[in-house]
């Protein structure tokens, strides 16, 4: 609405009675749902436990029962609220003077002593914990990892190397989710979601949600005064209009009295002050000592006789679908049965971390009644693929087809190839089913795509979905 129109409304209002005026609309309470994710809820929990074990090797965990009980009591109040989900949350205090807290997928949370020292009330500590709980409940860490590794994660999980743990499997594939900080650093959109849902959680637990706005405002004001705030603001990028967004969310909440303060805040600050100086530890939230994950190396192009499909086909069953494929190619599926890779042995690089020749399939179920159109699903997948390979481009826009009676779309893409000196053609297939989105990617060097395109077409035509 323009400023000029608002001005005219103000003038015309003088001719109206008070009974004719309308109050300003009340903001609506915003709610959020987890986004696209390759990992199951159980895998979130598994990954969080494995990552927590690494964190505890790099941080000095405070062994003070009274201080830990103070934080755990706040955490229990917050995680008892319905938005927190059913994750097995844990809360530990770590000796670190920086103002920060971070949560891992599945619920392990670590609270810096510097945060307790900087807070002005128990409610401000609860605000940060509620914010972090929202990251866990909305699965922001594994959602971000899924978007950034759209091809690599399903391939790594399909390799079946889970004996060393989930994080170890991903690290073997060059996906160091904890080492490169991906599980802990979020987008501004994710931060906004965590702010608004966190405000709801803390209000329901009896804490005044305005303290969230006040605390983050304080951090922003003091960000240039010292390095102790650096971690918090680097891991938690400040969304636009952060304070106003939280205040609008509060206006949409039912009015109530806030009685969550437990009375142990001053004692907790005193306990932190009496602790000995922390030992120097590497900062996991800043990338630890592992650095960035190793890149997929460019490998020599195998001979085409080692790659090209035979004319004989057999059938693979995987979860909710079946597909025919060349009998001289191999299959790999993950433990959950959601992802399937079909490719010649020499078409899979680094144990399936990348595919230079072959295909990969996955199914993403809708969550909590979510629905998307075929075009939306296709565009989302293209964007995620481009995050993994910025050189990927759309060569031909989507062409609608039928796959086993369901609406599907074929999109032609170009990208860099893991084979030395080659460019790559990708055929992206997306299909919307009543319960979710099925997608597949067919990959070949640009020079050989004409020779394998017929095989890819036959594979697509053979797909059958399980009928409920």
Residues 207, 123: contact at Cβ < 8 Å?
yes
Across 275-280, average pLDDT: 75
pTM for the whole thing? 0.59
Give the orientation angle of helix 122-137 with respect to helix 65-79, to 10 degrees: 60
Tell me the C-alpha to C-alpha distance, in Å, between residue 45 and each of 103, 107, 121, 130, 176.
12, 7, 31, 18, 17
Least confident stretch, 64-73, 82-91, 227-236, 299-308: 227-236
More confident residue, 240 or 187: 187
Beginning with the edge strand found earlier in the chain, give each strand of the sheet holding 436-445 in spatial order: 330-333, 339-343, 358-365, 436-445, 423-433, 406-416, 393-403
- Cα separation, 383 vs 376, whole angstroms: 11
Least confident stretch, 44-53, 87-96, 102-111: 44-53
Closest CA to 238 of 192, 203, 197: 192
Beginning with the edge strand found earlier in the chain, give each strand of the sheet holding 108-112 in spatial order: 90-94, 108-112, 101-103
Q: What pLDDT does 226 receive?
A: 44
- Cα separation, 285 vs 180, whole angstroms: 9
Tell me the pLDDT tens digit for each residue of 126-182.
999 999 999 999 998 888 777 766 656 666 666 554 445 777 666 655 555 665 556
Tell me the pLDDT tens digit for each residue of 226-263.
444 444 444 555 555 777 888 888 888 888 888 878 88
User: Does residue 276 carry a pLDDT above 70?
Assistant: yes
Domains of the chain from N-terminus onward: 41-286 (no CATH), 304-465 (3.40.1000.10)
419 forms beta bridges with 299
Q: What pLDDT does 21 receive?
A: 42
More confident residue, 332 or 65: 65
Q: Residue 401's pLDDT band (boundaries 50, 70, 90)?
A: very high
Closest CA to 418 of 388, 439, 456: 388
Q: What pLDDT does 123 receive?
A: 95
Q: What pLDDT does 365 receive?
A: 77
Across 90-104, average pLDDT: 91
Residues 130, 201: contact at Cβ < 8 Å?
yes
Least confident stretch, 48-57, 282-291, 313-322: 282-291
Helices (H), 275-403: 374-388
Residues 116, 175: contact at Cβ < 8 Å?
no
- Cα separation, 398 vs 408, whole angstroms: 9
Handedness of CA 386, 354, 41, 142 (dihedral sign): negative
Q: What is the mean pLDDT of the chain?
A: 79
The three-state secondary structure class of 57 is helix
Q: What percent of the chain has pLDDT over 70?
A: 74
Tell me the pLDDT tens digit for each residue of 19-68.
344 455 667 788 888 887 888 899 899 989 988 988 888 889 999 999 99
Q: Residue 15's pLDDT band (boundaries 50, 70, 90)?
A: very low
- Output the six-digit token pair for 143: 């959602």
Q: What pLDDT does 277 receive?
A: 79
- Cα separation, 235 vs 259, whole angstroms: 30
Q: What pLDDT does 64 receive?
A: 93
Across 348-359, average pLDDT: 78
Own/partner contacts of 12-20, CB < 8 Å, gap of 24 or more, are none
- Cα separation, 111 vs 102, whole angstroms: 7
Q: What pLDDT does 373 receive?
A: 87
């Amino acid at each position: 609405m323009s400023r000029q129109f608002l001005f005219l409304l103000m003038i015309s209002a003088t001719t109206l009675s008070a009974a004719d005026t309308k109050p300003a609309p009340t903001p609506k309470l915003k709610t959020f749902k987890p986004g696209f994710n390759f990992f199951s809820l159980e895998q979130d929990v598994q990954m969080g436990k494995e990552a927590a074990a690494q964190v505890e090797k790099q941080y000095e965990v405070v062994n003070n029962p009274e201080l830990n009980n103070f934080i755990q009591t706040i955490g229990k109040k917050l995680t008892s609220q319905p938005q927190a989900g059913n994750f097995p949350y844990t809360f530990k205090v770590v000796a670190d003077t920086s103002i920060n807290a971070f949560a891992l997928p599945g619920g392990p949370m670590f609270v810096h002593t510097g945060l307790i020292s900087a807070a002005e009330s128990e409610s401000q500590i609860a605000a940060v914990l509620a914010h972090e709980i929202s990251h866990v409940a909305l699965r922001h860490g594994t959602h971000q990892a899924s978007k950034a590794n759209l091809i690599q994660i399903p391939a790594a999980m399909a390799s079946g190397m889970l004996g060393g743990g989930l994080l170890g499997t991903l690290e073997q594939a060059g996906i160091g989710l904890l080492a490169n900080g991906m599980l802990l650093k979020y987008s501004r959109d994710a931060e906004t979601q965590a702010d608004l849902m966190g405000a709801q959680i803390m209000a329901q637990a009896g804490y005044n949600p305005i303290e969230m706005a006040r605390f983050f405002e304080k951090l922003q004001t003091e960000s240039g005064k010292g390095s102790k705030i650096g971690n918090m603001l680097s891991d938690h990028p400040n969304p636009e209009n952060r304070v106003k967004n939280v205040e609008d969310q509060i206006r949409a909440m039912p009015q109530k009295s806030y009685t969550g303060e437990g009375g142990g805040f001053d004692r907790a600050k005193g306990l932190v002050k009496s602790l000995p100086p922390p030992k120097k530890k590497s900062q996991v939230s800043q990338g630890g000592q592992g650095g960035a994950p190793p890149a997929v190396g460019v490998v020599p192009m195998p001979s085409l006789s080692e790659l090209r499909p035979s004319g004989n086909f057999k059938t693979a069953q995987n979860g909710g679908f079946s597909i025919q494929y060349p009998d001289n190619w191999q299959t790999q599926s993950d433990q959950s049965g959601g992802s399937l890779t079909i490719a010649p042995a020499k078409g899979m690089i680094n144990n399936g971390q990348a595919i230079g020749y072959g295909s990969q399939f996955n199914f993403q179920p809708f969550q909590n009644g979510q629905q998307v159109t075929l075009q939306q699903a296709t565009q989302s997948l293209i964007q995620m693929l481009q995050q993994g390979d910025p050189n990927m481009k759309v060569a031909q826009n989507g062409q609608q087809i039928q796959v086993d009676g369901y609406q599907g779309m074929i999109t032609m893409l170009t990208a860099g190839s893991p084979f030395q000196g080659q460019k790559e053609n990708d055929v992206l297939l997306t299909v919307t089913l009543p319960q979710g989105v099925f997608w597949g990617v067919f990959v070949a060097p640009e020079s050989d795509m004409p020779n394998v395109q017929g095989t890819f077409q036959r594979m697509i035509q053979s797909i059958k979905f399980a009928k409920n």
